[in-house]
Amino acid sequence: MRKISSVLICVVTAGFASTASAQEIDWKKVDEALGRTAAVSGDVHRYGFPRTDLQVTLDGVTIRPTLALGGWAAFKPMHGGAMVMGDLVLLETEINPVMAKLIENGLEVTAVHNHVLRSSPLPFYMHIGGHGDPVKLATAIRTALAESKTPLTPPAPPATPPAIDLDTAQLDQIIGVKGQANGGVYQFAVPRRDPVSENGMQLTPPGPTGVATAIGFQPTGGGKAAITGDFVLTGEEVNPVIKALRENGIEVTAVHSHMLTEQPRLIFMHFWANDDAVKLAKGLRAAIDKTASAKS
Summarize pLDDT for 191-241 with one digit per residue, the tens: 999 999 876 678 999 999 999 999 999 999 999 999 999 999 999 999 999
Least confident range from 15-19, 40-44, 150-154, 258-262: namely 15-19
pLDDT higher than 70, residue 18: no
Averaged confidence pLDDT in the chain: 91
pLDDT at 52: 96
Phi/psi at 29 (5° precision): -70, -35
The alpha carbon dihedral of 69, 257, 95, 143 has a sign of positive
Do 275 and 224 contact (CB within 8 A), yes or no?
A: yes
Separation of alpha carbons 67 and 169, rounded Å? 19
Tell me the Ramachandran region of residue 42: left when phi exceeds 0, alpha when psi lies from -120 to 50, beta otherwise. Answer: left
Average pLDDT (124-145) is 97
Q: Is residue 13 within 8 Å of residue 78, measured between CB atoms?
A: no
Identity (one letter) of the amino acid at 97?
A: P
CA distance 40 to 37: 9
What are the tens digits of pLDDT across the range 251-267?
Answer: 999 999 999 999 999 99
Position 158 scores a pLDDT of 80
The percentage of the chain sitting over the pLDDT mark of 70, rounded to a whole number, equals: 91
- Are 88 and 128 in contact by the 8 Å Cβ rule? The answer is yes
Q: What angle do CA 137, 141, 144 make, to 5 degrees?
A: 135
pLDDT at 164 over 70: yes
Q: What integer is the mean pLDDT of 40-54? A: 97
Q: How many angstroms separate the CA atoms of 139 and 105, rounded? A: 9
pLDDT at position 11 is 34
Q: SS3 sequence, 276-291? A: EHHHHHHHHHHHHCCC
Inform me whether the pLDDT recorded for 157 exceeds 60: yes
pLDDT at 193: 93
| Average pLDDT of span 41-68 | 97
| CA neighbor of 3 nearest in space, from 64, 62, 66, 74 | 74
Strands (E), the chain: 39-41, 44-50, 57-58, 61-62, 70-78, 81-90, 108-113, 124-132, 180-182, 185-190, 197-198, 201-202, 213-221, 224-233, 251-256, 262-263, 267-276
Helix ranges (H only) for the chain are 14-24, 27-34, 65-68, 95-104, 134-145, 168-175, 238-247, 277-288
Residue 179 has pLDDT above 60, yes or no: yes
Residues above pLDDT 90, as percent of the chain? 84
Determine contact, residues 243/137, Cβ cutoff 8 Å.
no
Res 12 pLDDT > 50:
no
Threshold 0.85, pTM exceeds = yes
Reported confidence tier of residue 17, pLDDT bands at 50, 70, 90: very low
Give the number of other CB atoms < 10 A from CB of residue 137. Answer: 27
Residue 234 CA, chain-centre distance (Å), reads: 17
The predicted structure's pLDDT at residue 159: 83
